[in-house]
Amino acid sequence: MTPRSKPIDSPNTEIPNIPRKCIRSTSMSTILRLRQTSTISTRTTSVRSPSPPGPILDHSHLRPGNQAALLSHERTLELYRANAKKTQDPDLQFEFAVFMIDASKTLPVPTPTPGNVMEVERAIEKREDLVREATALLKRNADRGHMPSQYFLADCYANGIGTHKGRQDFDRAFPLFILAAKHGHPDASYRAGTCCENGWGTRRESAKAVQFYRKAAASLHPGAMYRLGIAELNGELGMSKHPKEGVKWLKRSAEHATAEFPHALHELALLHARGIENVVFVDYEYAAELLAQAAELGYAPSAHRLGECYEYGKMGCPQDPALSIHYYNIAAQQNHRDACFALTAWYLVGSPGVLPQSDTEAFLWAKKAADAGLAKAMYAVGYFLEVGIGTAPSMPDAIANYKRAAELGDKRAAQRLKGSASLPMVQPGGAGAVVQRDGDSMAPSSSAKGGKDKDCIIM
């Protein structure tokens, strides 16, 4: 009987050793059968090498240990300061100065109370020390001709950072804008132009302002191109009226529009909405497209205008409550007072499937618009407080809001004040109410939503 090999556990295991005596007495066919058996066992019983681990799909590997801790502001500043002192690289020193300015803005200052006066003073002093150190570093770099430092320091002075009592100091900012502009800084050229135009830190010189604007526009600065376009359109800054040239500048500015300078998109939209003979043709679809681009960049006036278009079906836009509310909301989030008040109207009536009706929200948005100085919103808040819509009734507060609105020329508020002493408290839905409720629904006094501005007492 021929001996059989044991199963092989590893693909690298060799054939087991067979005593020479056995080999001599064993036929060649037996030896071949032994090899075949070993090979089969290797294939069937071998263990596969482990596959590489798959990707980690959670954040478990990022969980900090017990000893982990974020660096404090002070420690971060110390490390940054040590690196800045080791080098003479102006770019690194500039970054450190910018970091200190940003840190000074976020440095916590405790709420003043009678018991923590010293603590508050120390926090304010620490903030001022950071600004003082940063501006000194920026000034040293600016004196050495470092362009980013020149512009940033000028911007600090223009915004009251590092100045006496936090006041804007254009007398120190303007020369630095000029220096950075000479080094080819587009923003500095634009800011130097605004200083010359408005007489900030220098005397008013329209010709010089145009020079700086053109220098910035040559570098495709959208703000400078927009200002030149408006000047050509209206004949400002000592320039003659050239509508065609003005529109060219506006188009170039619109092509390079940013969140900081979206104005050309809005202005071009208004031009295409009304047209200019032999210069700009009326194109409502294109105007709406330009407004949408500006609204996407967060420009509140464009968003408000689109909200009106989709609410009333203007400029070829369909009446669409969802889009109207969407664009009003974009503008309202930036405290655009007319957009806030427009949301008041929408919340008063609601929109099925889009916006639930809410007197409380209507009151809050009206109050926000009133706080921003909108007279008709002040009157609306007064009425809500008098009647008790979305808030508890309060005649003294209502009269205070009527007075504010009347001082700004709102005739309805003045009339309300004349009869407020003798008028009874009006209940919602009664005669002269802002809205009339029909069952569970709520509609303006007018029969159609589109006519609320005309017929509704508040809107």
* 179-210 CB burial, b ≥16 within 10 A, e <16: bbbeeebbbbbbbbbbbbbeebbbeebeebbb
- CA pair distance 298, 311, nearest whole angstrom: 19
- CA pair distance 459, 345, nearest whole angstrom: 7
DSSP-assigned beta bridge partners for residue 436: 443
* 114-151 CB burial, b ≥16 within 10 A, e <16: eeeeeeeeeeeeebeebbebbbebbbebbeeebbbbbb
- CA pair distance 351, 164, nearest whole angstrom: 53
Find the helix packing angle between 375-387 and 411-419, rounded to 10°.
30
Q: Per-residue pLDDT for the chain (459 aa), expressed as one digit of tens each?
A: 444 444 444 444 444 444 444 444 444 454 445 445 444 444 444 444 555 555 555 445 445 455 544 556 677 778 877 877 788 889 999 999 999 999 888 888 888 888 888 888 988 998 999 999 999 999 999 999 999 999 999 999 999 999 998 899 999 999 999 999 999 999 999 999 999 999 999 999 999 999 999 999 999 999 999 999 999 999 999 999 999 999 999 999 999 999 999 999 999 999 999 999 889 999 999 999 999 999 999 999 999 999 999 999 999 999 999 999 999 999 999 999 999 999 999 999 999 999 999 999 999 999 999 999 999 999 999 999 999 999 999 999 999 999 999 999 999 999 988 876 555 444 444 444 444 333 333 333 333 344 444 334 555
Using only C-alpha atoms, the chain has a radius of gyration, in whole angstroms, of 37
pLDDT at 265: 97
Q: Which two tokens stand for residue 343?
A: 């949301």
**Continuous segment of H or E residues that includes residue 74:** helix 73-86
pLDDT at 74: 73
CA distances from 362 to 7, 357, 377 (A): 83, 9, 11
Backbone angles phi, psi at 96, to 5 degrees: -65, -40
Cβ proximity of 139 and 123 under 8 Å:
no
Cβ proximity of 137 and 93 under 8 Å:
yes
DSSP-assigned states of every residue in 417-449: HHHTTTPPPPPTTSTT-SEEEETTEEEESSSSG
Amino acid (1-letter code) at residue 49:
S
- CA pair distance 322, 307, nearest whole angstrom: 10
SS3 of 352-392 = CCCECCCHHHHHHHHHHHHHCCCHHHHHHHHHHHHHCCCCC
Residue from 186, 190, 154, 193 nearest 172 by CA:
154
Count, residues in the chain: 459
Residue from 79, 96, 217 nearest 149 by CA:
96
- CA pair distance 124, 457, nearest whole angstrom: 50
Q: Which residues make Cβ contacts (< 8 Å) with residue 81, sequence separation at least 6?
A: 96
- CA pair distance 3, 51, nearest whole angstrom: 37
The DSSP letter of residue 242 is: -
pLDDT at 165: 87
DSSP-assigned beta bridge partners for residue 443: 436
CA distances from 25 to 21, 30, 241 (A): 6, 10, 117
pLDDT at 66: 53
Cβ proximity of 327 and 304 under 8 Å:
yes
Q: Which contacts of 140-145 are long-range, i.e. CB under 8 A and separated by 24 or more positions?
A: 140/93, 141/90, 141/93, 141/94, 141/97, 142/176, 142/179, 144/90, 145/183
- CA pair distance 342, 123, nearest whole angstrom: 42
Torsion angle in degrees (nearest 10) through CA of 219, 221, 227, 229 = 70
Q: 3-state class of 40 per DSSP? A: helix
* 220-258 CB burial, b ≥16 within 10 A, e <16: ebbbbbbbbbbbbbeebbebeeebebbbebbebbbeebe
